[in-house]
Amino acid sequence: MKISLLASLWMILCVSVTPLFAQDKQTRPSEWEKVVEAAQKESKVVVSIPSSADLRTNLERTFRQRFGIQIESVVARGSASVRKIAEEARAGVRYFDVHMGGSESVVSGLLPEGVLAPVTDSFMLSEVKDPKHWWGGHIWTDNAKKFIYTSLAYTTDNIWYNGELMKPEQIRSFDDLLDEKWKGKMGFLDPRSPGSGASLWSYLREIKGEEFLKKLAGQKLVLGRDQRVLAENVAKGKLTLVMGLTYYTFAPFVKAGLPVRPLPTPKEGVYISGGSGHFIVMKDSPHPNATKVFTNWFLGREGQDLFSRAMGQGTRRLDVNTKWLSEVGVTAAKDVYSPEEYAKRENNSEEKIERVREPGAALARKLLDQ
């Protein structure tokens, strides 16, 4: 009797309690939902981004619609933003949450300062954490493989010309740039400071040698650090061509119907770039929950598709279509190369910056400061 009574009581208890456990499991917010709720209370995330009106508009609108959180965009050339972030960090100011941009300025300007947090500390969603969603798995710029995440990989036509002043077949090799007829008519994004101009310059040093660069410097290059001004000079015919600029700088002029075109890749080929897709999270960020939400959204499918389209640069995410990039002279590495080939041709890692790009910049200062 006692055993039977106990069994009956146990069955009643199980029937009455099980639904409560089930309800609790269904209604208890997930860890992600808790972070999103906390991020909404923080109300914003401060993001340093490249100079692109399309990127700023689309980032701010889409992220606000998706999560109800404001993006405070700080728009500037990467090296300028990095200097500001480093100066504020030294003064004990924590204003920025995340930064995206070129690798060299971050490696040289922020990595030694000890102001970066491991990006993986902000990874929450499986579509970001799981390397199977990324071509080549997780790829890092820094040697420690945790502070600078490489979200993009692509090759690009980074010599643009005015279609009314020259024909593309006139330059089939980098050697053709040394023709006397181009003297004083070529611009170059200043290779003495970090950026895509320095990338191209150091690549030319690797494949063509220092003697070639001495001759190129003798072509009276028009140097500039303002990318828009250089692009506008080509669009308006003040320069025949410019080196070191890519699609997103020319996008407004292309859309306006001005005669700017990307030069087909010279026969020597080009390097594989990480472009503006080097992503970092600041240590002790002022909006830690909003930073986590932004990181997982930006490195997810929607964020990478938006970024890739606004910048004209190829993401490594396997679930984002990048075939259309051929229309703007860009090829995503995942559509053409193997990860092994990427390792040989990339020029944005900390190791390549120390071995290739820094000596290239030193040569640029030697030849161009005169």
Residue 136: predicted pLDDT: 97
- Asked if 249 and 231 count as a contact pair (C-beta separation under 8 A), the reply is yes
Q: Return the minimum-mean-pLDDT range out of 22-36, 179-193, 316-330.
A: 22-36
- pLDDT tens for residues 86-102? 999 999 999 999 999 99
**Topology of domain 158-269+360-368, CATH:** D-Maltodextrin-Binding Protein; domain 2 (3.40.190)
Instruction: Find the helix or strand (DSSP H, E) in which 2 lies.
Output: helix 2-27
User: CA-to-CA distance for 160 and 231, rounded, in angstroms?
Assistant: 8
Average pLDDT of the residues in 265-269: 90
pLDDT, one tens digit per residue, over 246-258 is 887 898 999 999 9
The domain limits of the chain are 32-154+274-337, 158-269+360-368
Mean pLDDT across the chain: 90
Question: By C-alpha distance, which of 134, 210, 175, 150 is closest to 353?
Answer: 150
**Token digits of residue 168:** 């593309």
pLDDT of residue 329: 77
The three-class DSSP label of residue 44 is strand
Question: What is the enclosing helix (H) or strand (E) of 273?
Answer: none
- The mean pLDDT value for 209-221 works out to 96
d(CA 367, CA 221): 11
pLDDT of residue 29: 67
Contact 105, 78 (CB under 8 A): yes
pLDDT of residue 15: 42
Rounded-to-integer distance, Cα 300 and Cα 326, Å? 23
CATH code, 32-154+274-337: 3.40.190.10
Q: pLDDT tens digit string along 10-44?
A: 444 444 443 433 333 344 569 999 999 999 999 99
Kindly state the helix (H) or strand (E) to which residue 224 belongs, with its residue range.
strand 222-224
Residue 118: DSSP 8-state: P
Q: In whole angstroms, what is the distance from residue 277 CA to residue 310 CA?
A: 12
Alpha-carbon span 327 to 254, nearest angstrom: 12
Sign of the Cα pseudo-torsion (10, 12, 13, 15, in order):
positive
| Whole-number Cα distances in Å, 61 to 55, 71, 162 | 10, 9, 34
CA atoms of 352 and 104, how far apart (whole Å)? 10
Cβ–Cβ < 8 Å for 317, 142: no
List the structure tokens of 336: 């053409």
Q: How many residues does the chain have?
A: 370
Q: Longest Cα pair distance anywhere in the chain, in angstroms?
A: 109
264/245 Cα distance (integer angstroms): 14
Pairing state between β 241-243 and 186-189 = parallel
Beta pairing class for 44-49 and 70-75: parallel
Q: Report, in angstroms and rounded to the nearest whole number, the Rg of the chain calculated over CA atoms.
A: 25
In 3D space, the residue among 363, 335, 358 whose CA is nearest the CA of residue 347 turns out to be 358
Q: Residue 84: how many CA atoms within 13 Å on its side-chain side?
A: 14
The reply to whether 158-269+360-368 shares the fold of 32-154+274-337 is yes
For residue 328, what pLDDT band results from cuts at 50, 70 and 90?
confident
- Bridge partners (DSSP) listed for residue 159: 243
- Alpha-carbon dihedral of residues 160, 229, 280, 91, nearest 10 degrees? 160
Amino acid 195: pLDDT: 79
DSSP, collapsed to helix, strand or coil, labels residue 108 as helix
Residue 270 host element (H or E)? none
Q: Which of 6-20, 104-118, 157-171, 214-228 has the lowest mean pLDDT?
A: 6-20
When pLDDT is cut at 50, 70 and 90, the band that residue 336 belongs to is: very high
